[in-house]
């Protein structure tokens, strides 16, 4: 800021700064509580479905049966991705990171939506429905394309969770895995003003269209300090590999001031309530597959980090071993996060459009002043 009267010290990483009003979700970091539109995440995970949560995040209330059926039908009718987008994806290098592919392909969906730039409620909901339907199809299709496999067409008879696993693996998933995956989608749906959601609101605040705002959100989610952590948790577990090596591995990492992925949170100072569910799923999947190693290793890391640093696992920590045991490729974990978080992003974008003000904070200027320009030849 340029004048003394305006001057306030910038807070590193905007921690604790209230940057928007929102009725969508709230994180209570002290108590480890998360609510969506007033509903406790544990209640929603226990009783709801991902589609019901989407309705909740967009409309501020739970749907009646006919409203839920209508939204489900609308999303399912939009599962299919425009053929030119799939054709474009087939030209990408097979080594491309799935998050980069998702970002590029979702951005291109804009070309095929005549109202894609509309910021009125109807146009924006329409775009939100389309992206919510198509984002999973893109993510699953890329995993097949890069592996030289045939792309599996979406099945309009299936819900988002089941359809995604079906398109990814080419076979119908069993009911237990569908249930776990559906709850994982609920748990990742919204998290107040996290980095990617804030990004989507900043873009929407300029009255840019829904596709641009979501594309920016995907870019932000990809970073290892945000959604990219889940993949890195699994890489870490695979690197350690031997449960007997965990203690020395963690000691060395802490000595070298390296961060343990999936541990710690900018807001939660206690257990992340989403981790409570994912810990259970990691164990359940371990038992189902007869491979408890990853769950047990994760538990030991959790215990050490609590003893040594007083830190707790976040949503990404046990999501990693849960998805690994579902046979999902490591670098698909973050795209899966996006398949869920699209609901929160679009909810926040709708809220931003509904009561818009351009988001334009100030910077605390710490540079030089009164510099005299010297011509290049004289420097
Ligand atoms: N492993 C080891 N030490 C950690 C740590 C971790 N995962 N997370 C934080 N710390 C330490 C930092 O090294 C720092 O120590 P110092 O004070 O001695 O320098 C201190 O705790 C504060 O860290 P900082 O990164 O400033 O806190 P933050 O509130 O910004 O942290 C995260 C939030 C999520 C960015 C951070 O915990 C992290 O990077 N975690 C790993 C990545 C991750 O799982 N991200 C997903 C978030 S849902």
Q: Please tell me the distance between residue 146's alpha carbon and the centre of ligand 1 in angstroms.
A: 33
Pocket test for ligand 1, best of 14, 195, 254, 264 (most atoms within 8 A of CB): 264
> Distance from the CA of 353 to the center of ligand 1, in angstroms?
33
Q: What is the pLDDT of residue 8?
A: 67
**DSSP strands (E only) in the chain:** 25-28, 33-36, 39-40
Q: What is the mean pLDDT of the chain?
A: 96
Question: Quick check: 14 pLDDT over 80?
Answer: yes
Q: Two tokens at 205?
A: 């605040």
List 316, 331, 348, 370, catalytic entry: 316
In the residue annotation, 265 being an active-site residue is answered as yes
The answer, yes or no, to whether residue 2 has pLDDT greater than 50, is no
CA of 218 to the centre of ligand 1 (A): 22
Span 297-342, pLDDT tens digits: 999 999 999 999 999 999 999 999 999 999 999 999 999 999 999 9
Contact predicate 147/140, CB 8 Å: no
Summarize the confidence of residues 36-45 as an average pLDDT.
Answer: 98
4-20 burial string, b = 16+ CB within 10 Å, else e? Answer: eeeeeeeeeeeeeeeeb
Q: Are 296 and 283 a contacting pair, CB within 8 Å?
A: no
Atom of ligand 1 nearest to the CA of 258: 2
Q: Determine phi and psi for 370, rounding to 5 degrees.
A: 55, 35
Residue 1 pLDDT greater than 80, yes or no = no
Look up the pTM and report it: 0.94
Length of the chain measured in residues: 379
Mean pLDDT of 344-353: 98
Ligand 1 atom at shortest distance from the alpha carbon of 315: 48
208 is written with which tokens?
Answer: 């840019």
Only one residue has tokens 């641009």, namely 212
Is residue 316 flagged as an active site residue? yes
146-157 average pLDDT score: 98
Q: Tens digit of pLDDT for each residue in 67-103?
A: 999 999 999 999 999 999 999 999 999 999 999 999 9
């Amino acid at each position: 800021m340029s004048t003394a009267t305006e001057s306030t010290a910038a807070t590193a990483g905007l921690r604790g700064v209230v940057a928007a009003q929102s009725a969508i979700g709230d994180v209570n970091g002290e108590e480890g509580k998360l609510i969506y539109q007033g509903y406790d995440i544990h209640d929603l995970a226990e009783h709801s479905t991902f589609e019901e949560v989407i309705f909740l995040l967009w409309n501020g209330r739970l749907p009646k049966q006919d409203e839920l059926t209508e939204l489900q039908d609308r999303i399912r009718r939009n599962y299919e991705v425009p053929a030119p987008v799939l054709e474009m994806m087939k030209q990408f290098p097979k080594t491309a990171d799935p998050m980069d592919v998702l970002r590029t392909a979702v951005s291109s969906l804009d070309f095929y939506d005549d109202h894609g730039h509309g910021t009125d409620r109807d146009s924006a909901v329409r775009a939100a429905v389309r992206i919510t339907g198509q984002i999973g199809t893109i993510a699953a299709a890329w995993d097949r394309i890069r592996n030289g496999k045939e792309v599996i067409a979406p099945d309009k008879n299936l819900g988002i969770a089941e359809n995604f696993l079906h398109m990814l693996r080419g076979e119908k998933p069993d009911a237990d895995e569908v249930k776990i995956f559906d709850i994982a989608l609920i748990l990742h749906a919204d998290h107040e003003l996290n980095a990617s959601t804030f990004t989507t609101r900043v873009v929407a605040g300029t009255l840019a269209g829904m596709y641009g705002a979501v594309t920016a959100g995907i870019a932000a989610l990809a970073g290892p300090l945000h959604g990219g952590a889940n993949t890195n948790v699994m890489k870490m577990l695979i690197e350690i590999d031997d449960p007997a090596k965990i203690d020395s591995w963690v000691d060395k990492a802490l000595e070298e001031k390296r961060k343990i992925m999936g541990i710690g949170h900018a807001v939660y100072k206690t257990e992340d309530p989403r981790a409570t569910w994912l810990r259970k799923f990691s164990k359940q999947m371990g038992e189902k597959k007869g491979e408890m190693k990853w769950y047990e290793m994760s538990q030991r890391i959790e215990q050490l980090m609590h003893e040594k640093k007083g830190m707790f696992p976040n949503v990404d920590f046990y999501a990693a071993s849960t998805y690994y045991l579902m046979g999902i490729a490591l670098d698909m974990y973050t795209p899966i996060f996006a398949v869920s978080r699209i609901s929160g992003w679009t909810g926040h974008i709708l809220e931003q459009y509904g009561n818009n003000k351009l988001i334009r904070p100030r910077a605390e200027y710490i540079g030089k002043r009164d510099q005299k320009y010297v011509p290049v030849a004289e420097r």
